Structure 1
């Protein structure tokens, strides 16, 4: 955790347990995970050379690779992949390191992970257990560069998994940039898409009082009087939430 390579070397070499490098704390974290979280590349290399399991998972199913995707340390990630870390590993919610890199906006890490995933299992649709893809995460978080890469990689990924689309995610969190990118890339197919409750992105924008989102969607032929499964229009949603500007 503190990047003390000399002490780490000494402790590993004098340890009597064969699995000394994979010892876990109360949360199921290994020394490798702690080294990754703090960006200590030398410790990461040493632990891997001494036999640390690259794919060990903590109590939430998260591996060192999940942590590397969050912290954004490219050297740490490269070391893990060099030791055959499994890029499509899933945590307790089915989320892969690709989801985390997308959510955190780490473009180069995302690029590396996508390339590794393509060579590992090109048919894996990379959706979590709730049906959310990395595209949903990038859209919700407003990471336009990551979304652009994901759209190049697989523009129809939004069709897989949760019908609450990346566009719903973008407009409900007031992310104008990613919303515009999605509309431009996917057009009419996504503008009037419906989630499991029959709600369109226009409903989501009205709920969030996202006036820019409403303007964008209406410019691209969003159906203004569309009703969800409870019979509610976007105007009703805006009204019941007191969103005067949206109304």
Structure 2
């Protein structure tokens, strides 16, 4: 798929797109057809890929190509029509490749139309995440109904589901899950999953909702190696600790420094949590 994209063999791309299961597999290769096409300004071929059964995530944030993704490739090459097309197909204007951490550097090209399109898209994303964080249910629902993707990155915890889980906002979590088949174990920039964040804040109702919504890792660990049980033990959230232990969370997993949940609870003096962990099998 990537080779055909680079050579602009549109008929062959159409043929591959007729095989939905094959297309998704081929399109995840590191060569990155969308990024390649965006750089080379092959608008017709990009339209064909956008009409395929590729997922929105693949179309917008596929981590491939020298620029990292299709939108940045088109923006940095100054291809206005392609930027417009990608944004219309829900490309994430907030996504940044690590090599381009200063953002969409199209500003240096002085292409005002592209800058305006990107800023308008980014503004909507920022507003969406702000409403999630503040718990404005109606505003979040309105944004989702207008086509905002539930998993568009850009918030304090990177994703809206993570923010809502940390805040304990169950109604917004219900809205987000109803709009997408969310990947429940996707980590944020610090390796924290929605379940991890809910456990950290002691939001048992959120833990219940996440658990019943699909398969979730009961022992997620952040970049410091701290499990959900470790973190809830450290924060003194007894009900969250009991919830995790009742679902066979591993209380023997240490953090990166060798400290177990029990040892952390002992350090913090959380007597009820110490007793709960000691009673666990």
Range into which the TM-score falls when normalised by the shorter chain: 0.5 to 0.7
Does structure 1 retain, via aligned residues, the 8 Å contact 2:251–2:261?
no
2:197 is equivalent to residue 109 of structure 1: no
In the TM superposition, residue 151 of structure 1 has moved relative to its aligned partner by 0.5
SS at match of 1:89: coil
Shift of 1:32: 2.1
Alpha-carbon distance in 2 for matches of 1:67, 1:61 = 6
The reply to whether residue 142 of structure 1 matches residue 239 of structure 2 is no
- Check whether the contact 2:155–2:163 (CA below 8 A) recurs between aligned residues: no
Structure 2 match to 1:24? 122
RMSD: 2.8
Deviation at 1:179, TM superposition (A): 1.4
1:173 aligns with one of 261, 268, 271: 268
1:130 positional shift: 2.3
Q: CA deviation at 1:58?
A: 2.6
Q: Which runs of 5+ in 2 are unaligned?
A: 1-86, 94-120
Following TM superposition, the consecutive aligned residue runs of length 4 or more in structure 1 with deviations greater than 6 angstroms are: none
Counterpart secondary structure, 2:280: helix
Aligned residues: 165
Distance 1:21 1:35 in 2: 18
What residue in structure 1 maps to residue 13 of structure 2? none
Pick from 192, 207, 210 the counterpart of residue 95 of structure 1.
192
Aligned-pair CA distance for 1:138: 0.8
The structure 1 residue matched to 2:246, chosen from 152, 162, 165, is 152
Other-structure match for 2:178: 82
Note if contact 1:48-1:83 (Cα within 8 Å) is conserved in structure 2. yes
User: What is the match of residue 164 of structure 1?
Assistant: 259
Judged with a 3 Å threshold, the aligned counterparts in structure 2 of structure 1 residues 166 and 94 are, in CA distance, closer, same or farther, namely same
Query: Which of 1 and 2 has higher RCO (CA within 8 Å, sep 6+)?
Result: 1
Structure 1: gaps spanning 5 or more residues: 1-16, 187-247
State the partner residue of 1:55.
Answer: 151
Closer, same or farther: CA 157–181 of 1 in aligned 2, 3 Å? closer
TM superposition shift of 1:121: 5.3
Query: How does the TM-score come out when normalised to structure 1?
Result: 0.59
1-side partners of 2:249 and 2:157: how far apart?
29
CA contact (8 A) 2:252 2:260 kept: yes
**What SS is found at the alignment partner of 1:24?**
helix
Query: Are the counterparts in 2 of residues 107 and 146 from structure 1 also a CA contact under 8 Å?
Result: yes
Deviations 1:68-113, CA, capped at 9 Å, x for gaps: 0122111101111112232212111111111111111111001111
| Shift in alpha-carbon separation, 1:56–1:158, aligned structure 2, 3 A | farther
Q: 159, 167, 172: which is aligned to 1:71?
A: 167
Is the Cα contact below 8 Å between 1:21 and 1:50 reproduced in 2?
A: no
Q: Residues of 2 paired with 1:158 and 1:78: CA distance?
A: 32
